[in-house]
Amino acid sequence: MVRSLPAASPSRAAAYELLVDRHRSLVYACVQRYRGGPEPAEDLMQVGYVGLVKAIIRFDPAVGSKLAAYAQVVISGEIKRHFRDKCWPVHVKRSVQELALEAREAGRQLAQDLGRTPTDPEMARHLGVSGDDLQDARRAELAFRPSSLDAPLAGLPAMVTLADVLGEEDRRLEHLLGMRAVATHWGELPSREQQILVMRFREDMTQAQIGQQLVSPRCRCPGCSPAHSPSSGRACSAPGARVRCPPVASRRCR
């Protein structure tokens, strides 16, 4: 009917405005399904009106259905597309996204029917899905609106943000794990590799520094006696040394 009017005519614009005004309540009803979600209702109303206009433009009375029935499908699809394409900060499979939205609506409906919060098995039976699928949908719901690192944490007396309580990389732990691995296989290594490990893990040298030390015949153990000869294979005299300095040269340390 509207499509039969001239494209830029005032009568066509007036017909669009009249049909949109008549179906405002239909947009509101479609948006109400997602009431209480993280997306503002005002934004969803705008998306719903976009769907309504698309339905008015595409509607063909010759098909036999009513505009309201057709528009409801188009509006709901436009809202779901908005959630799928605009609201997920991380990639989530489309089937999981749709199930998360259905689970949110089912939770409200079952709570109203049962007079209490529905259990997971009740939710799964209502939706016709497995318990694992329901859990995947709920985990996806958490990814829908991730918490900001600068958001203050509730229940704490001081102004503490999420970033304040997150842990950071502990190099000492990495060093400990490395030392345990070294201790396990220390006796299996030749003396040169033992020396390299001592310089790397005990003296915290870089690869370049280790390479320089391997070229020099001097003993580089911290606190080692100048008279100590690494070629002798004797225990190092450095305080706290627990390993023997492996031989690296035939002549004595200067």
Domains of the chain, residue spans = 2-144, 171-232
Contacts with 70 (C-beta within 8 Å, 6 or more apart), sequence order: 55, 59, 63
- Of 89, 97, 118, 123, nearest in space to 34 by CA: 97
Residue whose tokens read 């509207």: 2
Give the pLDDT of residue 1. Answer: 57
Give phi and psi for 181, each to the nearest 5. Answer: -65, -40
The two structure tokens encoding residue 53: 């206009």
30 burial level (CB within 10 Å; 0-12, 13-18, 19+): buried
- Specify the pLDDT at position 6: 59
Q: Residue 235's beta-bridge partner residues?
A: 244
| Domain 2-144 is found in CATH 3.10.20 | no
Per-residue pLDDT of the chain (254 residues; tens, 9 = 90+): 566 665 666 777 788 888 888 899 999 998 887 776 667 888 889 999 999 999 988 888 777 678 888 899 999 989 888 877 776 666 677 788 788 878 888 888 888 888 888 898 999 999 999 989 998 888 877 766 666 677 777 666 667 777 777 777 777 787 788 778 878 888 888 988 888 888 887 888 898 898 888 876 555 555 554 444 444 444 444 444 444 444 444 434 44
Residue 16: Cβ-neighbour burial (10 angstroms; 0-12, 13-18, 19+): middle
In three-state form (DSSP H/G/I as H, E/B as E, the rest C), the secondary structure along the chain is: CHHHCCCCCHHHHHHHHHHHHHCHHHHHHHHHCCCCCCCCHHHHHHHHHHHHHHHHHHCCHHHCCCHHHHHHHHHHHHHHHHHHHHCCCCCCCHHHHHHHHHHHHHHHHHHHHHCCCCCHHHHHHHHCCCHHHHHHHHHHHHHHCCCCCCCECCCCCCCCEHHHHCCCCCHHHHHHHHHHHHHHCHHHCCHHHHHHHHHHHHCCCCHHHHHHHHHCCCCCCCCCCCCCCHHHCCECCCCCCCCECCCCCCCCCC
Tokens of 158: 């001081």
* Single-letter residue type at 56: I
- Largest alpha-carbon pair distance within the chain? 106
pTM confidence score: 0.43
pLDDT of 212 = 87
* Per-residue model confidence (pLDDT) at position 17: 86
- Identify the sign of the CA torsion 196, 197, 201, 203: negative
